[in-house]
Structure 1
Amino acid sequence: MDRLTTMTTFLKVVKCANFTSAAEELSISRTLVSRHVADLEAHLGIKLLNRTTRQVTPTEAGIRYSELCQRVLGDIRMGEEQISAIKNEVEGEISILCPIWLGSFGISSATAEFCAAHPKVSIKLHFEEPSANPHEFLTLGHDLCIQPNALRDSSIMVKKIGRIEHLLVASPSYLAARGTPETIADLESHECLGKLGDTQWVLANGDKLPLRIPPKFASNSVFALREAAEVGLGIAMLPRGIMWGALEQGLLVEVMAHNPPEVRPLYVAFPPGGDAPRKTRALISFLGEKFKGRG
């Protein structure tokens, strides 16, 4: 016996004072209405309704039970409405996973601005190097993942929210010893410091440079690659956002400025489905507007 269904039926019978009318309003048969009431009376071991040929009225026990049904069903309805409303309100906690270096791209200030604009929202922004597993941010309990790679995985949704400019850089000492490359053919003879998993560099004009496997130095951290380039291990492709200090101080020099790496997109990854909470959808939309056209 489905208790909630039989309670709903019982309340309708009390309201209509008639089995037939109750059945019509519930869009079920009169026989089923009678069965629901009979099941309740059998379960409780007491008569709930007085039945006559003209109408049905609740007994004393029936009156008390109808009050209980109203409280129970009312609490359930109110609770479900409150839960359903969560996805329509910009409130609650949003947990975001983001590569460390993207903090310099403006993610920190953008999420703080969103938080300030929505007083009922709280943000948890976690910075760490991303995993090769596209689902890890979900298993770790995060709502969103900011990243520079499109995920070809049907169980993860991605939305482009911006662009990231990269530079080819090397230390002055490396260039003094090995020469300054001017073309992609020149690059082939140099030590190219790549991110783990990268197999090629693509330049703005479409030229592609296959990376030597294994490279002299590789890392999943752009900061580690920057430091390797600073000590003269080779040429690195690094996001412009982490380069200002090193370039200004002369620790690194941009090479091939006439044909830099292609601009890479920036994505936000999130769980699939059309019922994402409004807080999540609102933040994704905000980030898209914030970084629109930004390099």
Structure 2
Amino acid sequence: MDRFRVMESFVRVVRAGSFTVAANQLGLSRALLSRHINDLETRLGVRLLNRTTRSLNLTEEGRTYLEFCERLFRDVEASERAIVGAKAEPAGVLRLAAPKSFGTAHLADAIIAFAKLHPRLRVSLSHENVSLRGSHYFIERGLDLVLCIAPRSTSATVGREIAMLDWTTCASPDYLARAGRPATPADLARHACLVHLNASSNDYVWHFESGKGAMSVKVPGVFHSNSALTLRKAAVAGLGIAQIPHYAVADDLERGLLAPVLPRHRVPPRPLLAVYPQTASTPRKVEAFVDFLAAWMASGELGRKPGKALRSIRLAS
């Protein structure tokens, strides 16, 4: 039995979630692929997958073995890349996920430009509100990299700061005419507030900076969402005051559909992070995309360069 080939079969079955799909991807028969998995389980003496007619689920031993296989494949890729040379053209498939609001509104342009520069690399982008649950997330979803608008506490991952994104406190003119305009951040405690979930360690505490220093206020949430686009629609509809990324409401502010609230009190910017598994050597395709996106963001008005040089930050477990 070709041990490396069988390990590849196992990883592909888990990623595809289907023996049939994985067999087609590998150019094997479903029967041979099933035999690979059976032989692997027999050799290891444990069950790796729980199979039903409708689903495949990893056992605890299967999850551990999958991590081992993924780590081994990454090490092999890193070693081969070192032999070929660090400047080799990125190739293969780059799988990444980004928040729906940012990915839909802005990332597409960067992806297209990046793809033109690297014709040997295929990019697969998923729009989802990412919630990292540890390094397992990358394995389970088959991802190389995710973009987050707030740091996530994960293990065995590295976060690269791409840019600082401005946030805006705003509301519709209709809401402000009905409820009044807050004069200080403390006044927000008496207003209907639209809360962006999973944007910080405490979503109900809004932070501000002014000439008098920093201050925070706990706001009452009358509407909640983990999508900036949904909160933007709620604000335009007059449901209350929102604090969301500026890029999501820039057009509405310019057209007068939304108005700034507390303009003398600035919302601290938050980092856009590229997060990927910690390995001995970052895959060339990930490195190339992160470098490109950082330069792309810095060249436009969407994101501002961090105050210091772009840096890598280890996210604590």
Deviations 1:43-90 (A, max 9, x none): xxxxxxxxxxxxxxxxxxxxxxxxxxxxxxxxxxxxx89981388431
Equivalent in 216, 223, 226 of residue 217 of structure 1: 223
Equivalent in 225, 229, 247 of residue 253 of structure 2: 247
1:101 aligned residue:
101
- Contact 1:151/1:158, CA 8 A, preserved across alignment: no
1:84 equivalent in alignment to 2:90: no
1:71 aligned residue:
none
2:158 aligned residue:
157
Q: Secondary structure at the match of 2:238?
A: coil
2:117 aligned residue:
117
Q: Unaligned regions of 5+ residues in structure 2, if any?
A: 1-75, 305-317
For 2:275 and 2:85, locate their aligned partners in 1 and report how far apart those are by CA, in whole Å: 18
For 1:189 and 1:106, locate their aligned partners in 2 and report how far apart those are by CA, in whole Å: 34
Could you tell me which amino acid in structure 1 is paired with residue 172 of structure 2? Answer: S
TM-aligned CA distance change 1:137 to 1:194, over 3 Å: farther
Deviations 1:88-131 (A, max 9, x none): 43111101100011136632222222221122111111112223
CA drift at 1:244: 2.9
Deviations 1:190-218 (A, max 9, x none): 11111224131111332111233xx2111
Could you tell me the TM-score, scaled by structure 1's length?
A: 0.66
For 1:163 and 1:278, locate their aligned partners in 2 and report how far apart those are by CA, in whole Å: 24
2:174 aligned residue:
173
Could you tell me which amino acid in structure 2 is paired with residue 180 of structure 1? Answer: R
1:232 aligned residue:
238
1:258 aligned residue:
264
TM-aligned CA distance change 1:253 to 1:231, over 3 Å: same
- Contact 1:204/1:263, CA 8 A, preserved across alignment: no
CA drift at 1:292: 3.5
TM-aligned CA distance change 1:153 to 1:83, over 3 Å: closer
- Contact 2:94/2:121, CA 8 A, preserved across alignment: yes
For 1:111 and 1:183, locate their aligned partners in 2 and report how far apart those are by CA, in whole Å: 41
Deviations 1:251-275 (A, max 9, x none): 2211112213111111000001122
1:142 aligned residue:
143
For 1:92 and 1:154, locate their aligned partners in 2 and report how far apart those are by CA, in whole Å: 26
- Contact 1:97/1:137, CA 8 A, preserved across alignment: no
For 1:83 and 1:178, locate their aligned partners in 2 and report how far apart those are by CA, in whole Å: 62
CA drift at 1:132: 5.3
Could you tell me which amino acid in structure 2 is paired with residue 210 of structure 1? Answer: K
- Contact 1:104/1:241, CA 8 A, preserved across alignment: no
2:73 aligned residue:
none
Q: Secondary structure at the match of 1:95?
A: strand
Could you tell me which amino acid in structure 2 is paired with residue 164 of structure 1? Answer: L
For 2:155 and 2:241, locate their aligned partners in 1 and report how far apart those are by CA, in whole Å: 36
CA drift at 1:137: 4.2
1:281 equivalent in alignment to 2:287: yes
Higher CA-based Rg: 1
For 1:81 and 1:105, locate their aligned partners in 2 and report how far apart those are by CA, in whole Å: 33
Q: Secondary structure at the match of 2:209?
A: coil
TM-aligned CA distance change 1:150 to 1:84, over 3 Å: same
TM-aligned CA distance change 1:186 to 1:92, over 3 Å: same
- State how many pairs are aligned: 214
- Which deviates further from its counterpart, 158-167 or 192-201? 192-201
1:202 aligned residue:
207
For 2:138 and 2:178, locate their aligned partners in 1 and report how far apart those are by CA, in whole Å: 43
For 1:183 and 1:128, locate their aligned partners in 2 and report how far apart those are by CA, in whole Å: 35
Could you tell me which amino acid in structure 2 is paired with residue 230 of structure 1? Answer: V
For 1:182 and 1:216, locate their aligned partners in 2 and report how far apart those are by CA, in whole Å: 20
Could you tell me which amino acid in structure 2 is paired with residue 126 of structure 1? Answer: S
TM-aligned CA distance change 1:105 to 1:202, over 3 Å: farther
For 2:258 and 2:138, locate their aligned partners in 1 and report how far apart those are by CA, in whole Å: 34
Identity in percent: 30
For 1:278 and 1:255, locate their aligned partners in 2 and report how far apart those are by CA, in whole Å: 44
Q: Unaligned regions of 5+ residues in structure 1, if any?
A: 1-79
1:272 aligned residue:
278
TM-aligned CA distance change 1:81 to 1:285, over 3 Å: closer
